[in-house]
Amino acid sequence: MLTLGSDIDALARFGRALADPIRCRILLALRVASAHPADLADQLGISRTRLSNHLACLRDCGLVVAVPVGRRTRYELADARLGHALDDLRAAVVAVESDRTCIEADEAGCC
């Protein structure tokens, strides 16, 4: 059973991964289908070096895994539930964004 500390650590890792737009794009792309790094870099329009650094971060966070396929490596989400979580989170954020009533938050500069 997870402890509260473990839960917080897991959510913090997920938050760090989502804090960067490129990592968000990688996660969303892998949500659709697993991919080889070269194909993913081309799809996202970023260098392979930059992609490699972001994939390393996502691996360290436990969100993606590298799967050897012959002499190549394919990346995929570590668990299919992450794809569902991304869909749910995106839907919730879009729903809240369309009905923003948090004027104080806007004035405080936090959103």
Residue 45 exposed, middle or buried by CB count within 10 Å (0-12, 13-18, 19+): exposed
> According to the model, what pLDDT value does residue 18 have?
92
pLDDT tens-digit map of 72-93: 999 999 999 999 999 999 999 8
Residue 4 has pLDDT above 60, yes or no: yes
pLDDT tens-digit map of 90-107: 999 888 887 766 555 555
pLDDT tens-digit map of 24-43: 999 999 999 999 999 999 99
CB count in 10 Å sphere of residue 51: 20
* Choices 1.20.120.420, 1.10.10.10, 1.10.260.40, 3.40.50.2300: CATH for 4-79: 1.10.10.10
Domain locations along the chain: 4-79
Per-residue pLDDT, averaged over 41-56, amounts to: 97
β partners of residue 72: 69
